[in-house]
Amino acid sequence: MSKNKPSRRHRGRDGFTLLEVLVAAAMFAVIVGALYSVFYGALRLRENSYLAFEKNLPKDYVVEIIKRDLANVATPAGILAGAMIGEKEEQGELRFDRLEIHTASGMVNDTEPWGDIQKIEYSLEQPAERREDREERATPESYDLVRAVTRNLLASTTEEPETQRLLQGVQSLAFRYYDGQDWQDSWDSTTREN
């Protein structure tokens, strides 16, 4: 009986050669690098999209609040409805208007005793965190849009309104009023018929 010995040609072919391992490692590195760059690009795109969305979200929210308040303005006659006063204030080319209205946009719930009519005032104020620094400078850069809400209109004493800083970095605030014929820059319902 003769044993079959493997020939010399097939004797060392049980594993991979060093060259094959190096080529496979290089191909794996290129594929992993390509996958990393695709995923990194996707994450950056998602992050930039989210930041852009977050940047516009407060503006859209503020616009919705102002729309709701203006859509529910109460007529200046009645027990709880007060005057609508819009004051124009200019500083160079910039305007810093103030608007005081009574609106029926208040939320009615079981924990607060008042109704839906509330007094609202929109104005620009110095930013809260840097108010002291800005008073020393001669040129103001940006302000906060503030919404002051007074819910209890039947109070026997004057109550401080609840202030909400709606938007930061506002440079100008302008309101215009239509009297039926022309646009006006200021408005006082106590002196006008409309």
State residue 158's pLDDT score: 80
Sequence length of the chain is 194
State residue 76's pLDDT score: 74
Strand partners, 167: 145
State residue 10's pLDDT score: 57
Alpha carbons 69 and 187: distance in angstroms, whole number: 17
Which residue from 104, 95, 113 is spatially nearest to 171, judged by alpha carbons? 95
State residue 139's pLDDT score: 46
State residue 3's pLDDT score: 63
State residue 152's pLDDT score: 78
Q: Does an H or E element contain 56, and which? A: helix 18-71
Q: What is the mean pLDDT of each run of 10 residues along the chain (194 residues)?
A: 59 77 95 95 91 79 90 77 84 87 78 77 83 48 88 79 88 88 86 67
Which residue from 167, 60, 152, 163 is spatially nearest to 106, judged by alpha carbons? 152
Alpha carbons 75 and 117: distance in angstroms, whole number: 11
The string of pLDDT tens digits covering residues 16-46 is 899 999 999 999 999 999 999 999 999 999 9
State residue 72's pLDDT score: 87
Sorted by where each begins, the domain ranges of the chain are 73-129+141-188
